[in-house]
């Protein structure tokens, strides 16, 4: 099992339990209790390093970025016993 910070795990679980396995950036900031700069660091790591999230950006500045759990993210949660699923 790979080493994962509490914050990363909290983000993955928040997205897993959200509507359509998707969360917008403001919601993740609120859930994590971190400032925007720190949450961006973890989201970048989960998206581009671990490959557990899809980043859904929008060209409209009034619409916040969203993040969706990839199959790899759900598999990590299932293998770790954090969720029950038929991945």
Q: Which domain holds residue 26?
A: 6-79
Q: 10-residue block means of pLDDT along the chain (87 residues)?
A: 83 90 91 91 96 88 91 93 76
Question: What is the C-alpha to C-alpha distance for residues 72 and 60, in angstroms, rounded to an integer?
Answer: 29
CATH code for the domain in which residue 23 is found: 1.10.10.10
CB 69 within 8 A of CB 53: yes
Name the domain count of the chain.
1
Question: Is residue 86 a part of any domain in this protein?
Answer: no
To the nearest 10°, report the CA torsion of 43, 46, 49, 50: 180
Question: Is residue 85 a part of any domain in this protein?
Answer: no
- What's the pLDDT at 2? 62
- What's the pLDDT at 63? 87
- What's the pLDDT at 87? 47
Question: Is residue 57 a part of any domain in this protein?
Answer: yes
Stated pTM of the model: 0.86
Question: Is residue 35 a part of any domain in this protein?
Answer: yes
Question: Is residue 87 a part of any domain in this protein?
Answer: no
Question: Is residue 34 a part of any domain in this protein?
Answer: yes
Half-sphere exposure of residue 14: CA atoms within 13 angstroms, side-chain side: 20
């Amino acid at each position: 099992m790979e080493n994962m910070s509490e914050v990363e795990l909290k983000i993955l679980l928040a997205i897993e339990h959200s509507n359509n396995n998707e969360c917008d950036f403001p919601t993740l900031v609120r859930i994590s209790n971190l400032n925007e700069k720190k949450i961006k660091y973890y989201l970048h790591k989960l998206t581009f390093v671990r490959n557990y999230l899809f980043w859904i950006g929008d060209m409209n500045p009034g619409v916040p970025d969203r993040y969706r759990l990839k199959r790899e993210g759900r598999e990590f949660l299932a293998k770790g016993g954090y969720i029950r699923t038929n991945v």
